[in-house]
Structure 1
Amino acid sequence: MKLLNKNFIFLVGSQLFSVFGTAISQFAISLYVLDKTGSMGIFSLVLSLSMISRIIFLPFGGIVADRLPKKKLMIVMDFSYLIMVLAIAIGVVKGNTILIMGIISIILGVVSSFETPVVQSAIPLVCKEEQIPKANGIINSVAMLSNILAPVLAGIIYNFNKAYNIFIVSGLFFLIAVICEIFLTIKQKESKKTGSSPVNIVVEDTKETLVYLKDNMLIVRICLVTFLLNMVISSFTIVVLPYTVRVGWSIGDELYGVMNTLFAIGGLSGSIAVSTLLSKINGNNIIKMLLISSFIFLLLVIPYSGIYNNLTSFWIMVALITLLEGIFTMVSIQLISFVQLITDKEIMGRVMSFMMMISMLAMPLGQIVYGMLGKLIIGKWAVIIIMVIAFISILITIYSRNIFKEVKIVTEKSKI
């Protein structure tokens, strides 16, 4: 089976336009909330609402992904996105923006919790096992490409007084994604026949997943590492950086869009590196990447020290985070591919949703903590806080050594 078969191409196309629409809408929501309120607390709260609802419903998303046709689920999810962004556009026109964006953020998080495990569990069904790392790299590259182009387009279209336009454009991309999914064909494995009630199905499937994870504790330990990294590092980049750039350094719309584009380029570079250079999963490489990322994060003391003007500090920060995004993407793809390789296809959706849930659970926690720190992070305490975070990142890497050595051993055994 060639990797670039019809099904995989349509899957890539649906992800291209779906992620494009998501990136544009997220860019617009974050920028609009910051511009309207100027509050880091409200900004982090809106972000956390989406994340919390996504985490709560992720286990159900995994169950649905394993039991129902993936093609139909993808169509329903992207069509739901379309309805939601149009609702936001109407809210902007009516003026009840912050409340509506908060409510829609919750609903978007719920929809996303169902879509993510569906797509991730579909990848092994449209390609061979040895193609999974490369397929994940391509899917991730397409997503990153969308994240590169979306902020540029959003920065051009965005106008605080006519913000509804950008949500309408986002809706058009979701519509194209739905069209791609209509032509997609995914073989659905026969699900377990049961006359149980929906509640019993959830309970039974959850028990089965927990037993499976208990027998495969390596997956749980990998999830713990991603939890810690997301809480410490990823939450910082999601909450603190936008606040620093918009409120602390007073950077304009266009440069804000350029910043997000360069971050996406960093992630795209990491995806390309995995799909072209790293065909084998190597635990030692992951450890080295985490050490390098800790050092890069420590260098953020330079732009946050206040020794340079705002614009110079901005570009130094952008360069460092772009490198960090590339390294984190390489680590993430390798870990996801590894879990897909060792997981039974019948339970793939639930395991991937568990992995996503645990890693994402850290995000709202980190966002709330950084939101409470508020102005301290761009004040005189910034350098100390960054140094502490970098030190914690190094401790996480040290803890990860035995885990990723086990990844190497299991990968080598899978070749026998």
Structure 2
Amino acid sequence: MKNTTKLFNKDFTLMVIGQIISLFGNSILRFALPLYLLDTTNSAALFGAVSACSLIPMITVTPFGGIIADRANKRNIMVFLDFLTALLITVFAFSIGKFNLIFMLIVTSMALYGIQGAYQPSVQASIPLLVDRDNLLPGNAVINQVSSLAGLLGPIIGGILYGFYGLTPILIASIICFFVSAVMEIFIKIPYTKQETTSSAFAIVKEDFATSINFIFKEKPVLFKTITLISCFNLFLSSLIMIGIPVIITQILNMSSQAYGVTQGMLAFGGLCGGIMTGILVKKIKIYHSHIILSLAILCLIPMGLVLMFNVSNMISYIVVTACCFLIMALSTLFSIQILTFIQSETPGHLTGKVISFCLAMTMCSPPIGQIIYGYLFEVLKNDAHIIVFIAALASGVIALMSKKVFSSMRNNEVYIEVCNDRE
């Protein structure tokens, strides 16, 4: 018999609202700080290098965040980290003008991404505890849509504030967001059973790492293959979006920070639409269709490369680039929700936080490399940016073709099929 338990219970609703507020603060910061660096230094190479450095703590902290999420109260983790982020931005705001700008941005960005690396596993591991299994896929879609909504509003509002008033009001707004989110999260009740242990902290971490690695590499090798493909995809496509789009819009097309904010907002709107598409197409699009979704996302790079190659007017080029970014993010979100649900459905509850965080960390290893490469390429090939875009499209296309065999092997996965069929 079909389970009719509603998705938006009190605790899940509180988490969703808290996520909207927290992620909005995070979104305006992630928009403003890199743009502030790019505007101040006018160096794509430095922009790429700083962005790459910022991700390193997230990569290293995320697996530990998963271990902590499985052993500690997830609500307390989220509350503590939101308060910590508010404190961090407060310190940064009072330090402007007193220390070297690049040093401050590197340290602050690294700290922000490190905190996010510890924060996100707790959120993802909480979803199966707050919703029933038949609501798992739409629950993931809602959290993803929340992220996209915050990402939509953040850059647009951030672009307006930054363009007219500079960095200060953005810092103030983000501090308020993190503080309010932390207070709201205090009232969430997430099921928690304390795990008794006599082992040392080092022994616990070592054991949990070994358990995660054994599960991914030996018990579920399809997860490792999937992670490897996503890492390669992130190297070529995701890194291009992260580094190339700001450079293309603000330096090559000479558009304003407000225009860049709109593009970032459309990226987030694409993510929001991708989450909606997941709910609508849940009965039709399965995990073994994922290579098709990736291929469609890659095709969106072609129009971007063409307008840059033929020197189309700046405004038309901007519109085409922004539209392609929207489509890429919509398709990427549809893909990522499918993958996340697959991992959750394949992983026992007591391993969810560890395995998801380990998977996230592995997929995040490639973007710093890609960001450094793209930063250098856009520095030396700024007048031939279309070459960079076409190379990225070609490399990503090869990866999409290779992924077909991996995703097709998931066609007969019983657990994932059961989760999806519960929605029918």
Q: TM-score, normalised by structure 2?
A: 0.93
User: Could you report, residue by residue, the CA deviation over 1:127-176 in whole angstroms, capped at 9, with x for unpaired residues?
Assistant: 11121110011111111111111112112221587422211111111111
The aligned residue for residue 299 of structure 2 is 295
Residue 248 (structure 2) aligns with? 244
Return the offset for 1:96. 3.6
Q: Which consecutive segments of 4 or more residues in structure 1 shift more than 6 A?
A: none
Query: Shift of the alpha carbon at 1:281?
Result: 5.7
- Is this contact kept in 2: 1:93–1:164, CA < 8 A? no
Q: Is the 8 A contact 1:61 1:114 kept in 2?
A: yes
Cα RMSD, aligned residues only = 1.8
AA aligned to 2:43 is S
Please name the residue that 1:283 is paired with.
287
1:70 aligns with 2:74: yes
- Equivalent residue runs for 1:204-215 within 5 Å: 204-213=207-216, 214-215=218-219
The one-letter code of the counterpart of 1:209 is: S
Offset at residue 379 of structure 1 (A): 2.0
Alpha-carbon deviations, 1:13-57, whole Å to 9, x = none? Answer: 111011100001111101110111111122112211221111011
Match in the other structure for 1:49: 53
Establish whether residue 157 from structure 1 lines up as the match of residue 153 from structure 2: no
CA contact (8 A) 1:91 1:97 kept: no
Gaps of 5+ in 2: none
Describe how 1:19-168 pairs up with structure 2 within 5 A: 19-94=23-98, 96-158=100-162, 162-168=166-172
Whether 1:401 aligns to 2:404 is yes
Letter in 1 for 2:339: L
How far, CA to CA, are the matches of 1:304 and 1:226 in structure 2?
27
Q: Which amino acid aligns with 2:388?
A: I
Residues 116, 84 of structure 1: CA spacing in aligned structure 2 closer, same or farther, 3 A cutoff?
A: same
Deviation at 1:285, TM superposition (A): 2.7
Of 195, 198, 201, 2:201 maps to 198
How far does residue 317 in structure 1 lie from its aligned partner after superposition?
A: 0.9
**2:122 is aligned with what amino acid?**
V
Name the SS of the counterpart of 1:326 in structure 2: helix
Once the two structures are superposed, residues 53-110 of structure 1 have per-residue CA deviations (whole angstroms, 9 ceiling, x without a partner) of 1101111111111110001000011111111221221222536432111111121122
Q: Identity rate of aligned residues, in percent?
A: 30
Residue identity opposite 1:333 in structure 2? I
Whether contact under 8 Å (1:11, 1:181) holds in the other structure is: yes
Pick one of 348, 354, 357 that aligns with 1:350: 354
Alignment partner for residue 366 of structure 2, among 359, 362, 367?
362
Distance in 2 (alpha carbons) for counterparts of 1:164 and 1:93: 12
CA distance in 2, matches of 1:281, 1:127: 22
Cα deviation digits, residues 204-255 of structure 1 (max 9, x gap): 1111111212211111111111101111100000001101211222111211
- 3-state DSSP of counterpart to 1:242: helix
Count of equivalent residues? 414
Query: Aligned pair in 2 of structure 1 residues 160, 55: CA closer, same or farther (>3 Å)?
Result: farther
Local SS of the residue matching 2:411: helix
Kept after mapping to 1: 8 A contact 2:22/2:181: yes
8 A contact 1:302–1:313 mirrored in 2: no
Q: Tell me the amino acid that sits aligned with residue 176 of structure 1.
A: V
SS in structure 1 opposite 2:410? helix
Amino acid at match of 2:70: D
Letter in 2 for 1:32: Y
2:189, 2:120 → 1: CA distance?
18
Separation in 2, partners of 1:153, 1:413 = 39
* Aligned equivalent of 2:383, options 379, 385, 395: 379
Q: Partners in 2 of 1:367 and 1:17 — Cα distance?
A: 28
2:267 corresponds in structure 1 to 263
Residue 103 to residue 376, structure 1, CA distance change in 2 (3 Å): same
Q: CA contact under 8 A between 1:92 and 1:164: conserved in structure 2?
A: no
Task: Give the whole-Å Cα distance in 2 for the aligned partners of 1:161 and 1:271.
Answer: 33
The answer (yes or no) to whether the contact 1:134–1:279 under 8 Å persists in 2 is: no
Q: Which residue of 2 aligns with 1:172?
A: 176
CA distance in 2, matches of 1:42, 1:387: 23
Letter in structure 2 aligned against 1:236:
L
1:223–1:355 contact (8 Å) kept in structure 2 = yes
Q: Distance in 2 between matches of 1:129 and 1:83?
A: 37
Q: Aligned partners of 1:264 and 1:283: how far apart in 2?
A: 23
Q: For residues 131 and 165 of structure 2, what CA distance do their matches in structure 1 show?
A: 46
Instruction: Write the letter of the residue equivalent to 1:51.
Output: L
